């Protein structure tokens, strides 16, 4: 199976290709992963492959069916996307899908329903969907996306094949970003992808909104606060993150890279030469290792919906503790 737009995730590609090429593709697939990792991109690649008429590898990208799918006008591919807030994928939408599902395909051998942000369904909506997943028409394929499989009912999970998408490498992410906007340099693109843990969607958002430069500036500020032993300066720097868990996680990911650069020596992957030199001058290798481990633990904590105000205080305390301040 061809994957034109979905990058990285070789294990996911191999599994999907194996299912597709052995004609064992299930009637329902759940693609899980955080926003910005390409879940919907993968769903669309699978949908195009299912309607493609090529005798060779699919999707071919040149047959009439592929072109319609790529332009978003294929009559047998339906896409529903909830806004992303809790309970925003309404049961009425699920009922609409079920009713339409019993109408045979217009042109293709399959009718494909991409249900994005399926985790936004409440229990009633998921139970309604379950009925069609248990006994779907032979031509129906449902591709669900969700931030985490734990947000779906166990009965739904028992009826779907689940694949988990991960972040891409800086090189893979930079290739995608530059293809969409050649005004962005490779170093900018790769740096943003690295900062956001391989999440291309978040990297693109940060570059377009100036957030990436802000993260770099904040990382430098944290390093200055740590090396100067200035708790007030550190808290002041971190206070701008008071309302954004995603930005906090991005900053911690950037700090992990800066601390790793200080340990490794050589050309810094983070591009923060001055901060790296300052850290190397101020702290022993043992303390740099403690900083890296602390940033890793804090990053995991930031991803778990921790109270933002408490998290900022925790970051300040933990990083200072790591260097014996």
Beta strands in the chain (DSSP E): 28-32, 77-81, 111-116, 140-146, 161-164
Residue 259 contacts residue 288 (beta carbons within 8 Å): yes
Per-residue pLDDT of the chain (325 residues; tens, 9 = 90+): 999 889 899 999 999 999 888 877 899 999 999 888 999 999 999 999 999 999 888 999 999 999 999 999 999 999 999 887 778 899 999 999 999 999 999 999 999 999 999 999 999 999 999 999 999 999 999 999 998 899 999 999 999 999 999 999 999 999 989 988 888 888 889 888 887 888 898 888 878 777 778 888 889 999 999 998 888 888 888 887 766 777 888 888 889 889 989 999 888 877 789 999 999 999 999 999 999 999 989 888 887 766 788 888 889 999 999 988 7
Q: How far apart are CA 245 and CA 243, in angstroms?
A: 7
pTM of structure: 0.74
Angle value at C-alpha 216, between 213 and 222, nearest 5 degrees: 140
- Closest by CA position to 77, among listed 129, 140, 161: 140
Domains and CATH numbers, the chain: 10-164 (3.40.50.300), 210-322 (1.20.272)
Q: How far apart are CA 72 and CA 196, in angstroms?
A: 29
Give the 3-state secondary structure of residue 212: helix
Task: Round to whole Å and give the CA distance between 142 and 134.
Answer: 12
């Amino acid at each position: 199976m061809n994957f034109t737009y979905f990058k990285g995730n070789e294990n996911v590609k191999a599994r999907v290709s194996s299912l597709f090429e052995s004609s064992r593709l299930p009637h329902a697939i759940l693609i899980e992963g955080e926003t910005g990792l390409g879940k919907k991109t993968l769903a669309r690649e699978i949908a195009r492959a299912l309607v493609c008429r090529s005798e060779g590898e699919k999707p071919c990208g040149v047959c009439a069916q592929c072109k319609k799918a790529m332009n978003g006008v294929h009559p047998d591919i339906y896409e529903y996307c909830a806004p992303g807030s809790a309970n925003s994928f309404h049961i009425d939408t699920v009922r609409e899908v079920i009713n339409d599902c019993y109408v045979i395909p217009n042109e293709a051998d399959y009718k494909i329903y991409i249900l994005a942000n399926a985790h936004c369904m409440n229990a009633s909506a998921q139970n309604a969907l379950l009925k069609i997943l248990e006994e779907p028409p032979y031509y129906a394929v449902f591709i669900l996306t969700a931030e985490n499989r734990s947000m779906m009912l166990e009965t739904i999970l028992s009826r779907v094949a689940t694949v988990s998408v991960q972040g891409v490498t800086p090189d893979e992410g930079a290739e995608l970003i530059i293809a969409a906007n050649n005004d962005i340099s490779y170093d900018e693109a790769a740096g943003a992808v690295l900062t956001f843990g391989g999440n291309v969607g978040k990297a693109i958002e940060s570059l377009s909104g100036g957030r990436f430069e802000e993260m770099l500036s904040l990382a430098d500020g944290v390093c200055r606060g740590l090396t100067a032993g200035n708790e007030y300066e550190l808290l002041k720097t971190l206070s701008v993150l008071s309302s954004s868990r995603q930005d906090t996680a991005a900053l911690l990911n950037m700090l992990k890279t800066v601390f790793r650069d200080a340990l490794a020596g050589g050309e810094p992957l983070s591009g923060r030469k001055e901060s790296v030199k300052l850290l190397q001058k101020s702290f022993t290798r043992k303390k740099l290792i403690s900083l890296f481990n602390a940033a890793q633990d804090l990053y995991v904590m930031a991803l778990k919906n921790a109270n933002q105000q408490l998290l900022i205080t925790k970051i300040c305390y933990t990083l200072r503790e790591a260097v014996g301040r």
